[in-house]
Chains A and B, each alone.
Chain A
Amino acid sequence: ELKVEQNPLFLSMQEGKNYTIYCNYSTTSDRLYWYRQDPGKSLESLFVLLSNGAVKQEGRLMASLDTKARLSTLHITAAVHDLSATYFCAVLSNFGNEKLTFGTGTRLTIIP
């Protein structure tokens, strides 16, 4: 069974600082996704990473994928308050199905 772990689970950071969220998964995959969820809202797709070494950037967020290490990172640069949300990584196994397995989520709070 595919397992997806994120850390940290909770993160408070000051505005202007940099930080990284980590996503580890347990089986072979080169298909990984990052989502954002605001309280009481739906999930919004942020990044789709489809190969080893893939790097995507949007504004202050940058995601990368290392399939050999089974690790993805979401890096936040110079955090601002509107990045406060819960961030999920999700992984699709390489073994012939489209069953997207989500991590536990990282609740990010940006403090002024």
Chain B
Amino acid sequence: DAGVIQSPRHEVTEMGQEVTLRCKPISGHDYLFWYRQTMMRGLELLIYFNNNVPIDDSGMPEDRFSAKMPNASFSTLKIQPSEPRDSAVYFCASSFFFLMSQGAGTEAFFGQGTRLTVV
């Protein structure tokens, strides 16, 4: 498998424009996560899905942010309108739930990220 695939890798946009980030999770994974990474706030979980259903979106900063997962192989994170403070690296990650003799858990695999700059 090619791993988690994100596009675009880099995006520069003007304030007020709509931005759409895309993610293809690893086939067979049933969880998908969107994270944002900045120097000031570190890695923040924005939203996660289980079997295409949004489970927790409490990390989505404002109504300007929305995320969808129309099927098991595709998710989008949209920012409309974008602002300079949205500039960050956005990571998508996917994972699968597993049971082991030592316990149950998940292991998340991250995409390469999208570096967003809003000017």
Please report A residues at the B interface, Cβ cutoff 8 Å.
30-31, 33, 35, 41-45, 48, 50-51, 54, 88, 92, 97-105
Q: How many residues from B make CB contacts under 8 Å with A? A: 27
Instruction: Please classify the interface of chain A as helix (H, G, I), strand (E, B), loop, or mixed, using the class held by over half of its residues.
Output: loop
Q: Mark B102-115, 1 if CB is under 8 A from A, else 0.
A: 11111111111100
Instruction: Please classify the interface of chain B as helix (H, G, I), strand (E, B), loop, or mixed, using the class held by over half of its residues.
Output: strand
Cβ B104 vs Cβ A98 within 8 A:
no
Indicate whether B100 reaches chain A with its CB closer than 8 angstroms: yes
Cβ A88 vs Cβ B113 within 8 A:
no
- A selection of 6 A-B contacts at a CB cut-off of 8 Å is A43-B110, A45-B109, A50-B104, A51-B102, A100-B33, A101-B45
Indicate whether B55 reaches chain A with its CB closer than 8 angstroms: yes
Cβ A42 vs Cβ B110 within 8 A:
yes
Cβ B102 vs Cβ A50 within 8 A:
yes
Cβ B42 vs Cβ A105 within 8 A:
yes
Q: Which residues of B contact A42 (CB under 8 A)?
A: 91, 110-113
Cβ contact of A45, chosen from B31, B48, B97, B107, cutoff 8 A: B107
Chain B, Cβ-Cβ closest to A45? B107
Complex Cα distance A98/B45, Å?
11
Cβ contact of A98, chosen from B48, B103, B109, B110, cutoff 8 A: B48
